[in-house]
Amino acid sequence: ALPKLLTINGKEYPTSNKDTNVTQSILNLTNRNLHLNPNHPIGILRTIIETKLNSLSPYKTFNNFSPIVTKWQNFDSLGFPPTHPGRSKSDTYYINDTTLLRTHTSAHEIECFQDINDDSGHNWRGFLISADVYRRDEIDKTHYPVLYQMEGSHLWTRPRETSNMEAEIKSLQSTLNEMLINNKMTLTRCQDEVEPPTETRQDYMTEQETKLCEMHLKTTLEIVVLELCRLKNMKDVKMRWTNTTFPWTQPSWEIEIWWDNQWLEICGCGIIKQDLLLKSDFEKDSTIGWAFGLGLDRIAMLLFGIPDIRLLWSNDKRFIGQFVEGQINTFKPYSKYPGTLRDVAFWLPDILQDNEEIHENDVMEIVRDVAGDLVESVKLTDEFIHPKTHKRSLCYRINYQSMDRNITNSEINSLQEKVRNELVKKYHVELR
């Protein structure tokens, strides 16, 4: 049964049967702080990007925020509508009705704006935040319930700093060109279809300011992309910018890079909406700026050649012993342990308790809580409706496989038994 209070990193939080869906195995990941480990791929990557960005402008760095935030910080303050799917219990880990594990580092934008606003002794041009973020998701080689993100933002005070924007962009462009020349690299910006902009500029910014802000943002992020490709010895870099939307930026974009024959989306970004700056106590019309959120795990997996995301969480010396501060070594696989497939099939009850559909992520969560990193993937392999009874049947195939050791048959049997029992206990399914 669910305890009345959860103690997380020394603080107590009330729970509720209706809202709490975070499990102990997820909470156990909240104090790993891979981004602070200087010899871990995530920590190495974080340091490389931070160092590059700080060579361009002074950014105040925040790397120690607790992952527990309010619903207001994570969603409302940023302008997420009440019905946004990201808020649902199938996607987000709730501690209770008002408290959750942050799903992105943007949850801290307002407090960082307020902090650099008050910290007037320094001339910070913006901030960088690195932290773990939590999302309920499927289980496979590239999905894990915890990810690392780096958030960045750059601001200009009107008119003192905006008057200098053009010169700053020129300087960024020459930094980028020097990187290309010195390393004999090329950068191609691919635009398959000419996408019309989906969002217009904000009323409080001029056309000129909007254009300059966009160029500054894009050039800064292109420098980061080039720096990573340089360290990986890639010579011909292909990337593209696509239009998108976020509730707190306008206009908004995504960066994709061409890597291993596919487009990889690595970063969302945009020009910060005035509403967010007002909530952060900036004086009306005083400030303009951009923000981005970069996913570190996928990039680390590609840079370091890590084939399974669970390896990032391994404490095995054969993994962690391979990486050193400041270097991008290619991971040398130490062994491959065999996997064992097991199916679990069940009929869904006609009407689930409290009338909720069981979500695929709920099945994933049970497997994750029972077997943790001993599972390589979970896939829905069959789904059908009985013609007479109209009952729905689902079959999931679980691949039990550890990164670090052999799992015995009896160990797998007992894990599988627990998964089956939990499905019955929690969702009242009828096992087949």
Which positions lie near ligand PHE, rule CB under 6 A? Answer: 104, 106, 151, 246, 249, 268-270, 291-293
At which residue do the structure tokens 């499990």 appear? 23
**ω into 251 cis (within 30 of 0):** yes
Q: Give least dist CB 131 to ligand PHE, A.
A: 11
At which residue do the structure tokens 């007992």 appear? 414
Strand 236-246 and strand 249-259: the pairing is: antiparallel
Of 99, 114, 39, the residue nearest 324 (C-alpha): 39
Phi-psi region of 345 (alpha: psi -120 to 50; beta: other; left: phi over 0): beta
292 or 400, CB closer to ligand PHE? Answer: 292
Q: Give least dist CB 312 to ligand PHE, A.
A: 18
One-letter identity of residue 408: T
- Taking the C-alpha atoms of 414, 134, 76 and 153 in order, what is their torsion angle to the nearest 10 degrees? 180
At which residue do the structure tokens 């000419």 appear? 194
Strand 340-347 and strand 392-400: the pairing is: antiparallel
Q: Give least dist CB 296 to ligand PHE, A.
A: 12
Q: Give least dist CB 264 to ligand PHE, A.
A: 14
- Rounded Cα distance between 425 and 359, Å, is 15
- Rounded Cα distance between 61 and 76, Å, is 24
106 or 401, CB closer to ligand PHE? Answer: 106
Q: Give least dist CB 236 to ligand PHE, A.
A: 27
Q: Give least dist CB 249 to ligand PHE, A.
A: 5
41 or 293, CB closer to ligand PHE? Answer: 293
Q: Give least dist CB 398 to ligand PHE, A.
A: 29
E runs forming strands in 102-194: 126-134, 146-157, 186-189
104 or 154, CB closer to ligand PHE? Answer: 104
- Rounded Cα distance between 20 and 219, Å, is 42
Of 179, 160, 164, 276, the residue nearest 223 (C-alpha): 179
Alpha-carbon distances, residue 169 vs 9, 50, 176, 218 (angstroms) = 43, 19, 10, 10
104 or 201, CB closer to ligand PHE? Answer: 104
Q: Give least dist CB 246 to ligand PHE, A.
A: 4
Q: Give least dist CB 347 to ligand PHE, A.
A: 37
Query: Torsions phi, psi of 304, nearest 5?
Result: -95, 0
Environment class of residue 418 by beta-carbon count within 10 Å: exposed (0-12), middle (13-18) or buried (19+)? middle
Q: Give least dist CB 293 to ligand PHE, A.
A: 3
Alpha-carbon distances, residue 47 vs 38, 52, 160 (angstroms) = 8, 8, 31
Q: Give least dist CB 107 to ligand PHE, A.
A: 8
205 or 374, CB closer to ligand PHE? Answer: 205
151 or 373, CB closer to ligand PHE? Answer: 151
- Rounded Cα distance between 159 and 200, Å, is 23
- Rounded Cα distance between 124 and 36, Å, is 22
131 or 228, CB closer to ligand PHE? Answer: 131
H/E element holding 275?
helix 274-279
Length of the chain: 432
254 or 411, CB closer to ligand PHE? Answer: 254
15 or 106, CB closer to ligand PHE? Answer: 106
33 or 105, CB closer to ligand PHE? Answer: 105
